[in-house]
Amino acid sequence: MSRRRLPNRRPAETFGIEVGGLNYVVSVGRFDDGSLAEIFISNGKAGSDSDTAARDSAVVASIALQYGVPAEVIRRALMRNRDGSVCGPLGAAFDRQQLPEDVS
């Protein structure tokens, strides 16, 4: 399986989320067909464990997306509380986007 490359310049959508009392900034980019291609997550506590975990999870998700893993597969694999709410910022970002299954 090969990695789908992104153009050097591409539009991005940025929005904020709150998880566990922490605020995060999320940016997402898409492939030309509209499917999710990459995600970036950070919070205002640069260098903190929460910021590092959020950034790392977004990097891994982006690589998976570029290798063809459908966004819905990633979203469903993320941790949830008993009531179905998300546990972490990556899940919140995927839920906020209400991402459809990849078109690819």
Distance between CA atoms of residues 32 and 47, nearest Å: 33
Assigned domain for 103 exists: no
Count of domains for the chain: 1
Tokens 């995927």 sit at which residue? 94
Mean pLDDT on 64-76: 95
pTM for this prediction: 0.87
Sequence-ordered strand ranges (E) for 20-71? 22-30, 36-43
Assigned domain for 104 exists: no
Assigned domain for 70 exists: yes
Assigned domain for 91 exists: yes
Name the token pair of 16.
């904020």
Domain around 66: 12-97
Q: What is the mean pLDDT of the chain?
A: 89
Nearest to 7 by CA among 41, 37, 35: 37
The yes-or-no verdict on residue 68 having pLDDT over 60 is yes
Assigned domain for 52 exists: yes
Assigned domain for 2 exists: no
What band does 69 get if pLDDT is binned at 50, 70 and 90?
very high
